Amino acid sequence: MRIVHVANFYGPSSGGIKTTLHELGAGYLKYGHEFIYIVPGPRYLKEQTPFGLKISLPSITLIGSGGYQIIRSNRQLLNLLEFLHPDRVEVSDRFTLMKVGKWTKQNKIASLVFSHETLNGLVKKYAGFIPTAIRSKFVNWHNRKLASNFDQVIATTNFAAAEFEQIGITNLNKIALGVDLEQFNPANRDLALRTSLLKGSRYLLIHCGRLSPEKEPARSVQAVEKLIEAGIDVRLVIIGGGPLWKKIRKQSSNLPVEMLGYIANRKKVAEYLASADVAIAPGPLETFCLSALESLASGTPVVASASSAVGEILDITSTNPAGAVAKDNGASFANEINKLLRDSSLRVTARKQAELYSWTNTVHKMLELHGAKQPMVVTKRRLRVA
């Protein structure tokens, strides 16, 4: 089976989308399928990767996004899809790639789209001045249109699924993403690295994520400020870049905060996550948050926004959750972080919770949705040069 995945917002410093594509591709290849992923790039380029054939198409950079790119020409994209003759098409981007769904319908090719965002949350955040009734009508209209253009809609959590369920979408599927349980592991805890990062402080906090408005990175800095005021000796390490870099740097200038920027080496990121006491995931619109799951797999409990889906991943309603959720303000985050700092047993709980999420399970469910049996070995078709 030839599976083609089209994704915007994929790039050298992107996080969750890139990880998802790579893990799905590696999983599909394992079972004998062919995987091609089409992403934005500086020019047309084909390259074979361990995750499948990567095809980059010329793109444009969104102003003020901190480097996010989208494919420039939908016509070029659709011409490429026609040439590739896919058996199945997957899409990651509900906003700019709607035409791909229409094309698959016209050509009778099975398709699915990942809903990586909560449209309701995004509209509320960026268009909160619009009356609620009008916002709701727009969200419902767009979600119905999305569901009608693709054969299947994938939501990764109950939180992400809710806005589709409330309007009765019937082609909705819930499939959780996974985590690399080998690469992200408590065994990566490095006491020398931890000591170096602490710089004399007692507790190490970590924030790993893109520094963009919807992620609310300022909340992590606000939490540190409140903890310091309360006499809690903490230090925060921020991993990630984005459009709010300068703002966060200025906000944290007089606090024990170190900004490391984007780190491409995933092994190094795994060491940072495992060496921390608590990870902070403040984004209120997160529909999954792979970095939070990677923290759990590393044995590090997480404090997340109560407004996001991360509480589901933490199993927050159980008697033994893998972290805590907080209201969307610095004081609440500081309070929840402080509660977790002295409970070393949470490291075991965090790891056990992460073990419920594996990429193998994700790949199996995706292939089942594609109508494939596992394991399945097929003869791969040779791809001609376009």
Q: Render each residue's pLDDT in the chain as its tens digit; 386 residues.
A: 999 999 998 866 667 888 999 999 999 999 999 999 999 999 999 999 999 999 999 999 887 666 678 999 999 999 999 999 999 999 998 888 999 999 999 999 999 999 988 888 888 888 888 899 999 999 999 999 999 999 999 999 999 999 999 999 999 999 999 999 999 999 999 999 999 999 999 999 999 999 999 999 999 999 999 999 999 999 999 999 989 999 999 999 999 999 999 998 999 999 999 999 999 999 999 999 999 999 999 999 999 999 999 999 999 999 999 999 999 999 999 999 999 998 889 999 999 999 999 999 999 999 999 998 655 444 344 444 33
Q: Give whole-number Cα distances, 307 to 126, 154, 207, 302, in Å.
A: 16, 20, 18, 14
Q: What is the largest CA-CA distance in the chain?
A: 65
- Provide the pLDDT for residue 126: 82
- Provide the pLDDT for residue 283: 95
Q: Which two tokens stand for residue 271?
A: 């060491």
Q: Give whole-number Cα distances, 341 to 132, 248, 351, in Å.
A: 39, 24, 16
- Provide the pLDDT for residue 17: 86
Compute the distance between CA of residue 74 and CA of residue 110 in angstroms, rounded to an integer: 19
Comparing C-alpha atoms, which of 13, 29, 37, 21 is closest to residue 114?
21
- Provide the pLDDT for residue 380: 42
- Provide the pLDDT for residue 14: 64
Q: Evaluate whether 25 touches 6 at the Cβ level (below 8 Å).
A: no
Compute the distance between CA of residue 372 and CA of residue 254 in angstroms, rounded to an integer: 56
Query: Which residue type occupies 371?
Result: G
Domains of the chain, earliest start first: 2-178+358-369 (3.40.50.2000), 186-354 (3.40.50.2000)
143-197 confidence digits (pLDDT tens): 999 999 999 999 999 999 999 999 999 999 999 999 999 999 999 999 999 999 9
Residue corresponding to tokens 């698959």: 104
